[in-house]
Every structure is written in structure tokens, then in C-alpha cells.
Amino acid sequence: MYFNYHAKAKSLIKSGELEYVEIMDDYHGIKPAMVLYFLSHKPMPIRQEHWEEYYKLIQQLENEQNYKEKF
């Protein structure tokens, strides 16, 4: 069975499940790792080559939330 790891992580982020993000030197052999912590899913480590796309997604969603809260 195929599991699209990044699609799942991004879907959880977009649905508001992301609690916080932690950058770690080593997370179970992934060096370095951006670890995404979710409300209803186990932590998901992200390799450094994917960090920029996650930073952009999180920033975009934060900007949209701030915009919605103002009106």
C-alpha cells in the first residue's frame, strides 16, 4: 500500500491539526529534522530538503488566519 507522507503532513497542517514545530539535530536518525506535532497524529519528522515548502505553507496559513480574524 502506498502512503504519501508529505501529502498527509500537509493535509493535517491545512486542517488545523498542527500544534507546534521543533527543529532537532537528530530525530530517530533523521539529521537534522523539522518535527511536526499534531493534535491527533503521531509526530512527523521532515528532512531538511523539504523545510522550505513547509515554512511557506505554515506562513501562508498563518497569514490567512490573521486576515480572517481581523474581519
* Calpha distance 31→37 (Å, rounded): 17
Residue 9 domain flag: no
Q: What is the pLDDT of residues 2-55, one digit of tens each?
A: 679 999 999 999 999 999 999 999 999 999 999 999 999 999 999 999 999 999
Residue 10 domain flag: no
Q: What is the pLDDT of residues 58-68, one digit of tens each?
A: 999 888 876 55
Q: Is the distance from CB of 19 to CB of 38 less than 8 angstroms?
A: yes
For the record, the C-alpha cell of 51 comes out as 523545510
pLDDT, position 66: 60
Residue 13 domain flag: no
* Calpha distance 52→47 (Å, rounded): 10
Domain count for the chain:
1
Residue 8 domain flag: no
pLDDT, position 2: 63
Residue 43 domain flag: yes
pLDDT, greater one: 16 or 1:
16
Burial of 25 (0-12, 13-18, 19+ CB in 10 A): exposed
Domain boundaries, position 46: 18-69
- Does the pLDDT at position 70 exceed 60? no
Residue 32 domain flag: yes
Single-letter amino acid code for the residue at 6: H
Residue 46 domain flag: yes
Q: Closest Cα partner for 7 from 61, 49, 53? A: 53
